[in-house]
Amino acid sequence: MCRNIRTLFNYEPHATPDEVRASALQYVRKVSGSTHPSKANLEPFETAVQQVAAATQRLLEALVTSASPRDREVEAEKARARAKARYG
């Protein structure tokens, strides 16, 4: 999985449309193998990003959980601690 795709479900506040689009963009970049598509491929690339973002938004709206929402700052601090332990 691409490291830049972040978990978007069960956070308070909910994922923003920009976060959903950024994850969709990273997914399409990974699948296509291209971070900057050529002019010939720009339209299908952007269409794919829009479709993946829409599917992701529908998924996030449909998921349910009984777990309490995670706090973005707490999760970010945990990630920083993991990175510090890993990289020193």
Please give the pLDDT value at position 12: 86
Q: What are phi and psi of 55, to 5 degrees?
A: -65, -40
Please give the pLDDT value at position 26: 93
pLDDT digits (tens, 9 = 90+) for 8-39: 999 988 999 999 999 999 999 999 999 999 99
Which residues have a Cβ under 8 Å from the Cβ of 44 and sit 6 or more positions away?
Answer: 37
- The C-alpha atoms of residue 14 and residue 1 are separated, in whole angstroms, by 22
pLDDT digits (tens, 9 = 90+) for 31-76: 999 999 999 999 999 999 999 999 999 999 999 999 999 998 898 8
Q: Is the pLDDT assigned to residue 3 strictly greater than 90?
A: no
- The C-alpha atoms of residue 53 and residue 23 are separated, in whole angstroms, by 8
